[in-house]
Amino acid sequence: METMLFYFFAFVAVATALLVITRRNPIHSALWLVLCFFSLAAVYVLLSAHFIAIIQIMVYVGAIMVLVLFVIMLLNLSEKELGDAKPTVLKFCGVILSGIFMVLLADGVKVLAPQAAVSVDEKFGTAEMLGRLLFTDYLLPFEIASLLLLTAMIGAVVLAKKRR
């Protein structure tokens, strides 16, 4: 059952990701990306990382993608502004580059030997467990990440103030 669900959501994730880059209408692309994030969240649930799954939906789907959609709608691009299709040379380069990336990725995955399924205890993936880890083993990266976000926030305020 779980394997079936995994293949279903994995398929949806890959298919929607492809649709994101092939659609011409940016709004449709954005909506497919939303669906892609959803199926990723479902995969997280299958990995019993419920908290991460919910945060994925809350932050990426609920906040970031709404803003992206917002901006695309406000720009209201017409067919002309979207421009002609990309020249063939560029497409060709894109295919080669992604091919190289794919090879590198496959090389990385190959190293991971298939492992027997491990059963995780009930606390695994809960907010409690995650919080404990973040404030003990991963305290430094956690604080650095929060500093990064703070910088971005200050930057946004400064940018918004400059107009006056």
Partner 1 sequence: MDWIGLGIIVAKIVFFLLVGFTAAGYVMNLAERKISAFMQDRLGPNRVGFWGLLQPVADIIKLFFKEDVVTDRASKVIYFVAPMIIAFTALSALAVIPLTDVLTFFGRGMAIQIANLNVGILFIFAIASLGTYGAVLSGWAGNSKYSFLGGLRSSAQMISYEVSMGLSIIGILMIFESLRLNDIILGQSPLLWGFLPKWGIVVQPLAFIIFLTAAFAETNRVPFDLQEADAELVAGFHTEFSNSMKFGMFFMAEYINMFTSSAVIVILFFGGWQIPGISTAEIVSFFISLGASEFFASLFTILLQLGVTFAKIAFFMFLFVWVRWTIPRFRYDQLMNLGWKGLLPLAILNILATGLVMVII
d(CA 48, CA 61): 20
Number of residues that bind partner 1 (CB under 8 A): 20
Q: According to the binding rule CB under 8 A, does residue 5 interact with partner 1?
A: no
Q: Which is nearer to partner 1, 17 or 54 (by Cβ)?
A: 54
**Residue 42 interacts with partner 1 (CB under 8 A)?**
no
**Does residue 63 bind partner 1 (CB under 8 A)?**
yes
Quote the DSSP letter at residue 159: H
Q: Say which residues have a Cβ less than 8 Å from residue 44's Cβ, sequence separation at least 6.
A: 50, 52, 53, 56
Single out the segment in contact with partner 1 by CB under 8 A; choices: 4-12, 59-67, 90-98, 137-145. Answer: 59-67
Q: Does 50 contact partner 1 by CB under 8 A? A: yes
* Range list of H helices, 23-126: 26-46, 50-55, 65-75, 88-111
- Written as six digits, the tokens of 77 are 């691009």
Q: Which range binds partner 1 by CB under 8 A, 26-34, 86-94, 101-109, 145-153? A: 26-34
Tell me if 123 sits within 8 A of 129, measured CB to CB: yes
Binding track over 108-127 against partner 1, x by CB under 8 A: ------------------xx
**Sign, Cα dihedral of 113, 119, 121, 125:** positive
Is residue 58 within the footprint of partner 1 (CB under 8 A)? yes
Is 6:40 a contact under the CB 8 Å cutoff?
A: no
For position 75 contacting partner 1 by CB under 8 A, the verdict is: no
| Binding positions for partner 1, rule: CB under 8 A | 27, 31, 34, 50-51, 54-55, 57-58, 61-63, 66-67, 69-70, 73-74, 126-127
